Amino acid sequence: MTHTSNIDSATELRRLSRKLKSLRESRDWTLDELAERTGLSKPYLSRLEAGERQPSIAALLSIAQTYSVTVAALFQEEQQAPQVVVRQGQRPLKTGNGLFHTSLSERGGEFNLRPIRVIVPVDRAGGDLYQHDGEEWLYVLSGHLRLILGNEQHLLSEGDAAHFDARTPHRLVAEGETDAELLLVATVAPRPLLGSYL
């Protein structure tokens, strides 16, 4: 009985910590600002958001009043509708394997297709070939791209496309004096795709 109670308490504490952080970030408040509004210390609030401390009733009342929600709402999981549209500039460029890339979908865990915008720098270092499960389709938006695919090499220009089995060792190389930008759609789990692709 005690064991089950401890599990339930830990679950509630994690749920509360996630909700507290979400509420603060949705308002663009820093911990310092929240501390000033609630009258609670910054270290105390930080530990609550990290799930490292159980709050007092007084603290919960103060936090709920600050966010204009009920105490019960602090323990409720947020049900967010899946995002269908990704706006320009909404997803920042990341770097990996000498490339710049950004996901063009917020639905990564739901669907098999992974659309990605990729910029291949003209001075990309290294020469490693990558391979992973699934398939890839790419479309060159600008620049010139050399697609190394196994023992073959293909030169692609703006408007050209390629579709291949991603288990074949491959690499993207920008040709000429400018970066190559492309739209890439892959069918593969996100981590291998962003960690060992192209």
**Is 164 inside a domain boundary?**
yes
Do 121 and 174 lie in a common domain? yes
Q: Average per-residue pLDDT in the chain? A: 84
Residues with Cβ within 8 Å of residue 83, at least 6 apart in sequence = 106, 107
pTM higher than the cut 0.75? no
- Which DSSP category does 130 fall into? B
Cα 31 from Cα 21, distance rounded (Å): 10
- Do 104 and 61 share a domain, yes or no? no
Q: Which residues of 99-112 are buried (b: 16+ CB within 10 A; e: fewer)?
A: bbbbbebeeeeeee
First to last CA, the chain: 53
Q: Are residues 28 and 104 in the same domain?
A: no
* Adjacent-strand bridge partners of 184: 116, 138
Nearest in space to 157 (alpha carbons), one of 173, 177, 178, 141 = 141
d(CA 25, CA 138): 36
71 contact partners, CB below 8 Å, separation of at least 6: 60, 61, 64
Which helix (H) or strand (E) segment is 97 a member of? none
Nearest CA-CA partner of 143 in 124, 122, 126: 122
Radius of gyration of the chain (CA): 24
Final residue of a structural domain among 75, 103, 129:
75
Which amino acid belongs to residue 9? S
Q: Domain containing 159 — which CATH number?
A: 2.60.120.10
End residue of a domain, out of 18, 44, 75: 75
Residues 107 and 40 in one domain: no
Residues 18 and 104 in one domain: no
pLDDT digits (tens, 9 = 90+) for 131-140: 888 899 999 9
Question: Comparing C-alpha atoms, which of 17, 55, 63, 56 is closest to residue 37?
Answer: 63
Residues 70 and 101 in one domain: no
**Token duo for residue 50:** 């990290």
Same domain, 49 and 138: no
Q: What is the CATH number of the domain that holds 13?
A: 1.10.260.40
At 44, the pLDDT band (50, 70, 90 cuts) reads very high
Which residue, 23, 21, 15, 30, is CA-closest to 49? 21
Residue 152: domain span: 94-196
Q: Compute how many other C-beta atoms are within 10 angstroms of the C-beta atom of residue 141.
A: 15
Number of domains in the chain: 2
What's the rounded mean pLDDT across residues 152-172? 96
Indicate whether 104 and 65 sit together in one domain: no
pLDDT of amino acid 91:
76
Same domain, 119 and 33: no
Task: Report d(CA 8, CA 13) in Å as an integer.
Answer: 9
Q: Identify whether residues 70 and 105 lie together within a single domain.
A: no
Which of 75, 104, 136 corresponds to the end of one domain? 75
Same domain, 100 and 6: no
Tell me, yes or no, whether 85 lies in a domain.
no
pLDDT tens, residue by residue, 17-37: 888 988 888 888 899 999 999
